[in-house]
Amino acid sequence: MTITGVDRHYDEPPASVDISSGECAFPLMMEATQGELVSTCLDMSKTRSIGYVIVIDAAGQGTQAQNYAKFAALMDNLETAIEALTIANFIDYEITTTGDYPIGGSNYWAIVATLTARST
């Protein structure tokens, strides 16, 4: 998934982040569930979830106001990208923000999304 305004996209969480190269994004490990089986809609109880993180800036840099402004724009761009996905008929999502996301021993300002895809 490509997010407008995010400079680098990784296929897995990076061991460290060089924020001077701009924002970066990466997925987290997936989860899958099988709900109660209902005879008329067996596939509708299957879900797959994945976390998606957008790292904005290192924490503790005195950039709170700028990061809050970036949150708003990048959350809009993230929602646009999620709504364009065609991997499942139904995709639910939850988006949170934090100034304390840990990567490689440092903390970062980040947007953290959980996407849940349901079968047909």
CATH number of the CATH domain containing 48: 3.30.2000
Q: Are the C-beta atoms of 15 and 104 separated by less than 8 Å?
A: yes
| Residue 75: closest CA among 27, 109, 112 | 112
* Predicted local confidence at residue 62, as pLDDT: 84
Residue 1 lies in a domain: no
Residue 24 lies in a domain: yes
Residue 64 lies in a domain: yes
* Predicted local confidence at residue 109, as pLDDT: 95
* Predicted local confidence at residue 24, as pLDDT: 94
Q: What is the largest CA-CA distance in the chain?
A: 56
Q: How many domains does the chain have?
A: 1
Q: Are the C-beta atoms of 24 and 17 separated by less than 8 Å?
A: yes
Residue 2 lies in a domain: no
Q: 100 is in which domain, residue-wise?
A: 8-118
* Predicted local confidence at residue 40, as pLDDT: 55
* Predicted local confidence at residue 36, as pLDDT: 63
Residue 61 lies in a domain: yes
As averages over each run of 10 residues, the pLDDT of the chain (120 residues) reads 91 91 90 66 72 93 87 94 83 92 94 85
